[in-house]
């Protein structure tokens, strides 16, 4: 795991004990810090508490529990007890936060309305996340570079693609942040390695000192506005990734939307040649990149190419990586081809802006859409509605989305995903695509977008 000497002897409050929170507790204890932790979910608290009789504890929260020997957790001596060094599991709202060096919160904690965040601010206690702890640990790691990638849409694919390019070029790399394993849970890289971090606005909000050698902003469209005073504050959160950079480090920005273009203009005035702009609508030959189809993936690929060039990767390694990249689950993932019909899982498209690129990628689409809506319209999708043969609406948003779409395409109100798959299977013809790109969150009918994608795959497999 990644630890910092600077944490030794300090006292941290940790709120949220899913994967990143549990990894944070383990790293802090390994560095000889004192930790008081809490999660509203009792199962996460129980997974964290050690049981010396079984030799387990400090589990991964939402992941399946695994046995962890105490000597695996740390160096010489965290005493997993409330006294002295070690761990205490207590409701943080009952404590005087002024006695702590920092409150470490998981990205899912809403800073704008959680009472503990207000309490920490009143006490003058820094509110940070695991990415800030990683930034603090960098000074003690072998010489390395960090790539930070943010944007409303496309950041997971771009992060994974950059990581794949580094591995293809033979450069040691780790991928973390909002994707994969928590960064503090991973082993430090050898000298010359590159950490590639996908960063949500929530994670950037909790970070003060991450100086990325290469920072990327793909786009900014309305999302997560329940966590911000307005869209301008959300955009400002994304821009902070560049404010943390040294002026001579590389900034790469898409300029296909007005907020991103404005940030790029401001940076260009102050930083000049260190700023690279990615213009929209760049014509690229994507025919040799099977997992990078559609105009949105052209932008993702172009961003990754610019990152790779900034890191000094050879052109042949970049080309090989683009050709061999396998894509990510639930992001325009082809799950089957049945009778000449391609079935595409784009369950990660949880808002209209992220669904629109998938609609632009195929000429004849049977579109499964709906869930828990993040708004009342599908305006971002309508420019590509000519590619839709028929729509199948599901979930809470189904009736509203059906009302919007009937002015443009035939609609079947399927209500459930399983029924939508069955109807589409009967109606789609050879050469057409059945696309699950819901333009809505999944929480009305599923645990998360991954559960929704797995249900789609199962329903498709049942047709075979």
**Domains contained in the chain, CATH given:** 5-128 (3.40.50.720), 138-324 (3.40.1190.10), 333-463 (3.90.190.20)
Six token digits for residue 252 = 């790469």
Beta bridge partners of 341: 338
- Single out the residue of 146, 130, 140 nearest to residue 14, CA to CA: 130
Reading the block at residue 316, the tokens are 């042949």
Strand 214-217: give its sheet, edge to edge.
173-177, 193-198, 144-150, 214-217, 250-254, 275-278
d(CA 129, CA 238): 16
- Active centre residues (catalytic): 155, 178, 224
pLDDT confidence bin for 77, thresholds 50/70/90: very low
Q: pLDDT per residue over 246-270, tens digit each?
A: 999 999 999 999 999 999 999 999 9
Name 358's bridge partners.
Answer: none
Q: What is the mean pLDDT of residues 375-404?
A: 96
**What is the 8-class DSSP label of residue 142?**
P
Compute the distance between CA of residue 146 and CA of residue 161 in angstroms, rounded to an integer. 15
Q: Which residue has the tokens 């962890």?
A: 68
Tell me the pLDDT of the chain averaged across its residues.
90
- Give the residue carrying structure tokens 């589990």: 59
Q: How confident is the model at residue 176 (pLDDT cuts 50, 70, 90)?
A: very high
Say how far apart CA 452 and CA 442 lie, in whole Å: 7
Tokens at residue 272, please? Answer: 């000049």
Closest alpha carbon to 208 in 271, 267, 129: 129
In tens, the pLDDT along 20-68 reads 999 999 999 999 999 999 998 899 988 876 544 434 444 433 333 232 3
Q: For the chain, how far is it from start to end, CA to CA, in angstroms? A: 44
What is the tens place of the pLDDT at every residue in 272-312? 989 999 987 667 888 889 888 888 889 999 999 999 999 99
Burial of 40 (0-12, 13-18, 19+ CB in 10 A): exposed
């Amino acid at each position: 795991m990644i630890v910092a000497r600077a944490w030794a002897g300090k006292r941290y409050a940790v709120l949220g004990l899913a994967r990143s929170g549990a990894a944070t507790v383990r790293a802090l204890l390994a560095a000889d810090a004192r930790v008081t932790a809490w999660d509203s979910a009792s199962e996460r608290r129980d997974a964290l508490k050690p049981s010396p009789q079984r030799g387990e504890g400090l589990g991964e929260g939402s992941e399946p529990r695994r046995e962890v020997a105490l000597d695996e957790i740390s160096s010489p001596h965290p005493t997993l007890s409330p006294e002295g060094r070690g761990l205490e599991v207590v409701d943080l709202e009952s404590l005087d936060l002024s006695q702590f060096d920092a409150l470490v919160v998981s990205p899912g904690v809403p800073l704008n309305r959680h009472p503990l965040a207000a309490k920490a601010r009143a006490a003058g206690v820094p509110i940070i996340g695991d990415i800030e702890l990683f930034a603090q640990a960098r000074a003690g790691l072998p010489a390395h570079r960090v790539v930070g990638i943010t944007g409303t849409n496309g950041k997971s694919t771009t992060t994974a693609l950059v990581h794949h390019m580094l591995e293809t070029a033979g450069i040691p790399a780790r991928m973390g942040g909002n994707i994969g394993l928590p960064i503090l849970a991973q082993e430090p890289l050898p000298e010359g390695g590159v950490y590639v971090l996908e960063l949500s606005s929530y994670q950037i909000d909790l970070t003060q000192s991450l100086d990325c050698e290469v920072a990327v902003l793909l786009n900014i469209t309305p999302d997560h506005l329940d966590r911000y005073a307005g869209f301008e504050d959300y955009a400002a959160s994304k821009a902070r990734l560049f404010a943390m950079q040294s002026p001579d480090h590389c900034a790469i920005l898409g300029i296909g939307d007005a907020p991103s273009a404005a940030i790029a203009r401001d940076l260009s005035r102050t930083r000049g040649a260190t700023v690279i702009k990615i213009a929209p609508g760049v014509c690229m030959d994507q025919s040799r990149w099977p997992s990078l189809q559609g105009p949105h993936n052209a932008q993702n690929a172009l961003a990754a190419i610019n990152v790779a060039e900034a890191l000094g990767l050879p052109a042949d390694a970049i080309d090989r990586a683009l050709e061999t990249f396998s894509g990510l689950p639930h992001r325009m993932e082809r799950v089957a081809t049945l009778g000449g019909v391609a079935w595409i899982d784009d369950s990660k498209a949880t808002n209209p802006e992220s669904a629109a690129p998938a609609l632009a990628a195929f000429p004849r689409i049977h579109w499964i859409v709906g869930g828990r809506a993040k708004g009342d319209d599908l305006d971002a999708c309508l420019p590509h509605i000519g590619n839709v043969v028929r729509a199948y609406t599901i979930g809470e948003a189904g009736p509203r989305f059906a009302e919007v779409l009937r002015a443009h395409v035939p609609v079947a109100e399927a209500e459930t995903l399983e029924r939508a798959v069955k109807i589409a299977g009967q109606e789609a013809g050879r050469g057409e695509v059945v696309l699950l790109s819901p333009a809505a969150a999944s929480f009305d009918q599923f645990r998360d977008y991954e559960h929704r994608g797995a249900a789609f795959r199962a329903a498709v497999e049942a047709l075979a």
